[in-house]
Amino acid sequence: MFTSDSIFENRRFLIVDDFQGMRAMLREMLKTFGSKNISVAASAKEAITYLEQSDKYDAVLCDYNLGPGKNGQQVLEEAKFRHLIGPATAWVIVTAEKTSDMVIGAAEYMPDDYIIKPINEAALRSRLEKVIAKKSELHDIEKAIFAKNFNAALSLCDKAMGSGKANNEILRIKTNLLLDIGRYDKAKELFEKILSVRDVPWAKTGWPKWPSTWAKWKRRSGCSRKSSTKIAPTWKPTTG
Amino acid sequence: MDNQETQPNITAFFASAMHDMKNSLSVLINFLESYHTVLDENLKNKVAPMLYEVKRVNNNLVQMLAIYKVGNEFYPFEMTENSIDEFVSEIVMHNQTLLDDLGVTLELDYDKDMTWYFDRELVSGVTSHALNNAMRYTHDKLRLFITNEDGYLVIRVEDNGTGYSASMLDTGNAVNKGVNFASGSTGLGLFFTSMVAKLHKHRGKTGSMALENGGKFGGGCFVLRLP
């Protein structure tokens, strides 16, 4: 049922939690999955220290509530802003409850997933495998876009989608990409296909009013290729 | 004159208390689930009811918090696209230990290629609650049946017990209509379910729940419909 241990074996993990019982539990679970490289931080401050000093972690499991000081979302924002984590680093927030932080906010500062406590071992493993795999796919797409290999990026998008999978995120990237490269016909087709089934908010607002000037406007406004997989405008996180 | 400093932030208290309670529950549940594999039959039978009770506490907490947030209009409701296969897999993972301990087999019936839009946390909460309840009243079988019917996602939890009593069926209908007859824990779960159903709206359609007798095994059926 589970993928081979190497997805955990060769990756570096960071656990951040203010509760000792949780730290111990998560560490044991990761060890059971085959992880050999696990750092454990007990506070936001300690987490930042680890992130500053080490080579990029592959995955971070961070509690939302870290006691006094910054919360897990703020640690993520600081880590992203200061490039303490790479574009392929998966960030999962472990939380007692879903907060608005997980739903609204700038796209590039959102966690890759959130897990609600209590944590079930099998569910954690399954989630981590999926998040790590998806992050890897997204990173490949992003690299292709950055290198202007648009056709490669498009086919990577198609490869990442599958029946029975939640494809919205990839579809969003694909529509954005199609618009960027001027394939308005294909983009429109995709938007209409999505909207025929469901009133998905991003699809409703995604189709620009004047598509023919879309590419020109983007160039003029200086939107860099690097951020083209994310939809939200550039935004500075609230640190301190 | 800064009044804000002297007024307690109730939401912050709740968040902090929830954090504490969930941490404790996590440790408890993890302990009970991991030790069950090494216990002999005699001890397993003693531990299973404990796990059931701890899960009930957790479910109640989840429901109460959701009701509080929705009631105060700050629950971060989010209709995301969900893989039904993943949704079901996780529900099974969370309940497998308890199912095994109670000697209940769970039958799964759903299309692996299906996806649907709903608030993952809320609907997981509802389905888990329904399953936990059904585990108590079933004889030895449960069925989780998910299908697309008339543009609604229909989630059914069916058991092979003796079915819901007439008063229970009445309560189910009443809660769905918005009239609350029951109080106490039965009321909490049903109210939560009904609230979650009604939060889900799409193109003029709204979600609903129902309690019925029948289904594949002729026992009790919990039904959730989401547009």
Question: A11 and A114: one domain?
Answer: yes
Does A233 reside within a domain? no
How far is it, in rounded angstroms, from Cα A114 to Cα A62? Answer: 9
What backbone torsions phi and psi does residue B72 show, to the nearest 5 degrees? -100, 10
Q: Which tokens sit at A182? A: 């001027």
Pair (A60, A177) in one structural domain = no
What is the pLDDT at residue A160? Answer: 94
What is residue A100's DSSP assignment? G
**Disruptive mutation site among B13, B16, B18, B19 for chain A (greatest number of A CBs within 10 Å):** B19
**Partner residue facing A120 (CB), from B65, B93, B114:** B93
Whether omega before A211 lies within 30 degrees of 0, making that bond cis, reads no
Amino acid code (one letter) for B147: T
A22 CB neighbours in chain B (<8 A) are 23, 26-27
Summarize chain B as % helix, strand, coil (round to 5): 55, 20, 25
pLDDT of A237: 44
How confident is the model over B4-32, as a mean pLDDT? Answer: 82
Q: Judge if A12 and A125 occupy the same domain.
A: yes
Neighbour tally for A155: CB within 10 Å: 13
Q: What confidence tens digit (pLDDT) does each residue in A2-24 have?
A: 555 678 999 999 999 999 999 99
- How, if at all, do strands B201-202 and B115-118 pair? unpaired
Whether residues A106 and A175 fall in one domain: no
Looking at the structure, tell me whether residues A168 and A103 fall in a common domain: no
Task: Inform me whether the C-beta atom of residue B22 falls under 8 Å from chain A C-beta atoms.
Answer: yes
pLDDT at B39: 82
Strands B115-118 and B80-83: antiparallel
CATH number at residue B132: 3.30.565.10
Helix (H) or strand (E) holding A61: strand A59-63
Owner of token pair 């299973």:
B48
Task: Kindly state whether residue A216 falls inside one of the protein's structural domains.
Answer: yes
Subunit contact A199:B203, Cβ cutoff 8 A: yes
Entry pTM: 0.88
Q: What is the pLDDT of residue A232?
A: 41
Structural domain boundaries enclosing A51 = 6-132
* Integer Rg of chain A from CA: 19
Please give the sequence-ordered ranges of beta strands (E in DSSP) within chain B, or none if there are none. Answer: 80-83, 105-109, 115-118, 141-149, 152-159, 201-202, 205-206, 208-214, 219-226
**Is the same domain home to A25 and A120?**
yes
Task: Encode pLDDT of A111-135 as tens digits.
Answer: 999 999 999 999 999 999 999 999 9
Q: Is residue A116, in this structure, part of any structural domain at all?
A: yes
> Residue B31's closest chain A neighbor by CA?
A25
Query: Averaged over A224-238, what is the pLDDT?
Result: 41
Mean pLDDT for A178-188 is 91
Q: Cβ distance B86 to A168 under 8 Å?
A: no
Q: CA-CA-CA-CA torsion for A94, A100, A106, A112, nearest 10 degrees?
A: 20
Number of domains in chain A: 2
CA distance B14 to B65: 8
Inform me whether the pLDDT recorded for A240 exceeds 80.
Answer: no
Instruction: Check if the beta carbon of residue A33 is closer than 8 Å to that of residue A125.
Output: yes
Name the domain boundary from A106, A132, A158.
A132
- Name the least confident of A119-133, A184-198, B7-21: B7-21
Domain count, chain B: 1
The DSSP line for B164-209 is: --HHHHHHHHHHHHT-----HHHHHHHHHHHHHHHH-EETTEE-EE
Same domain? A120 vs A20: yes
Q: What is the CATH number of the domain that holds A25?
A: 3.40.50.2300
If you average pLDDT over every residue of chain B, what do you get?
Answer: 89
CB atoms within 10 A of CB B179: 9
The tokens describing B1, both together, are 């004159």
Coil, helix or strand for B171?
Answer: helix
Residue A22 to residue B74, Cβ atoms within 8 A: no
* Tens digits of residue pLDDT in B41-83: 888 888 888 999 999 999 999 999 999 899 988 899 989 999 9
Final residue belonging to a domain, choices A84, A101, A132: A132
